[in-house]
Structure 1
């Protein structure tokens, strides 16, 4: 046997072994490639759908749409307000939850500190916290905010009405003029009917509604979908799980290329003509 023929036979054997090894690897890769494809496709669809929704969040109004599902609020750890007070149920609903003022089930004011009291005065609604007076329309629009720079006393503890608006403060009692512009320290001649919580069955039902609205004001659907898209929705291991999905996609891409290369028809070698 000549050296040339020996070299040709060795090349042929090497190619044959390589071909058999390639087929064996392809046979092992193929089922895993399918499994990874099924596994990844579910999360690709989830990420694609959530990504489209996020891109159009303004048009779909999910950027301001509150989540009102109690189980989802519980999952995010959003607890009920520490202090929830119903002041009135008819003819319109007036309530406060911590520092939030609610008019007709609508969030009207986010005060600087917890609300101390609310009442109606003509077509206006008055709400106070420790150092501010909020004048709100019956539609829930903030019309005016007063503080110490406008002559409002500090350390407010309660608001009442007996024909005139009164404030109870740490420094004493203050009475407002008819236009709610000037506050004068004075001593009432009779007990003031201070704003207080309403305790009726209707008020209890209203409290359940306001409690859910107050919780939902802290969470929007845009936040939920963003968390799903990033993996944070699934807890501390969520981002790691999304990394695992990304790694699976890389492996699937590599195995797919390998299977495609192995499955290509081989070009026939040209036979030299003599």
Structure 2
């Protein structure tokens, strides 16, 4: 080789071979396409709809998650209401009744006798502040008498006369024909004699209710009348005066949000809107990803 030809010779570029060339030959077509697009960026000002939807789809899902559990659980319990007895059950939880604006309201009036006082509070009749262990309608009055050999309290209701021991134990329930009337209006005493008043007339018993005779003169009869209760007495009745709510109605109001007023209703409305958004955005993202995958596969 002459010097001139050696001086004019161009440097020979190394051929693309070795490990790098083999790697490129083995690289899948889709991976090469991804690498070629990796450096491509969205033009300034161009909105990335897919990224936007993914971000807000995730945020909406997290926000609606706890409320979806709430709506699902309450809906399930409502559907099981009849089978599980929720349609007849009642609750008197203070924090629940407080949401409805219901508060305990002990009665202001009762009936005071010589050996005890009675009052209707909530669903019970209380004697000296303690609930009687048996059911009784609203009392019309109470008197006491020892004409039968022991002290008994006679509590009158519209349909019956209850003889009760001072301890609250029921001694006897007297109604027609044991007493000669079908309806009672009031009860009183004349000395130790028990007197009842009714549309059929007045009758008296001086043997603890075993026998009754017509009572024409009521001049000396002391009738039992409603009396204002003291604050201490009302405080004793407070536990029996708590309002109660139907459990089924409470579940319905929880499900709709109405238990929390207008704010609760709007929260449920917003959760419904979020659920619609999740459905639409989820379908759109699924379609977009499917289309992109099809485009990358090529013909």
TM-score of the pair, normalised by structure 1: 0.59
**How much has 1:139 moved relative to structure 2?**
6.5
- Separation in 2 of the partners of 1:81 and 1:42? 39
Return the index of the structure with the highest Cα Rg: 2
Q: Which runs of 5+ in 1 are unaligned?
A: 1-22
Query: Paired residue for 2:92, among 62, 66, 83?
Result: 66
TM-score of the pair, normalised by structure 2: 0.56
The match for 1:184 is 213
- Separation in 2 of the partners of 1:127 and 1:172? 18
* TM-aligned CA distance change 1:229 to 1:74, over 3 Å: closer
**How much has 1:102 moved relative to structure 2?**
3.1
The match for 1:85 is 110
**Does the 8 A contact of 2:154 with 2:162 survive in 1?**
yes
In the TM superposition, 1:1-274 aligns within 5 A as 24-50=48-74, 55=80, 63-68=89-94, 72-73=97-98, 75-77=100-102, 80=105, 83-85=108-110, 87=112, 94-97=118-121, 101-102=125-126, 104-105=130-131, 108-109=134-135, 111=137, 115-119=139-143, 126-129=154-157, 131-135=158-162, 144=173, 146=175, 151-152=180-181, 154=183, 156-160=185-189, 162-169=191-198, 173-176=202-205, 178=207, 180=209, 183-187=212-216, 191-195=220-224, 204-216=231-243, 218-220=244-246, 223-235=249-261, 238-239=264-265, 241-263=267-289, 266-267=293-294, 268-269=296-297
**How much has 1:52 moved relative to structure 2?**
6.3
Corresponding residue SS for 1:132: coil
- Separation in 2 of the partners of 1:106 and 1:225? 32
- Separation in 2 of the partners of 1:120 and 1:225? 47
**How much has 1:47 moved relative to structure 2?**
2.8
Say what the alpha-carbon RMSD is for the aligned residues.
4.8
Corresponding residue SS for 1:135: strand
Q: Name the count of aligned residue pairs.
A: 240
**How much has 1:189 moved relative to structure 2?**
8.1
**Does the 8 A contact of 1:158 with 1:168 survive in 2?**
yes
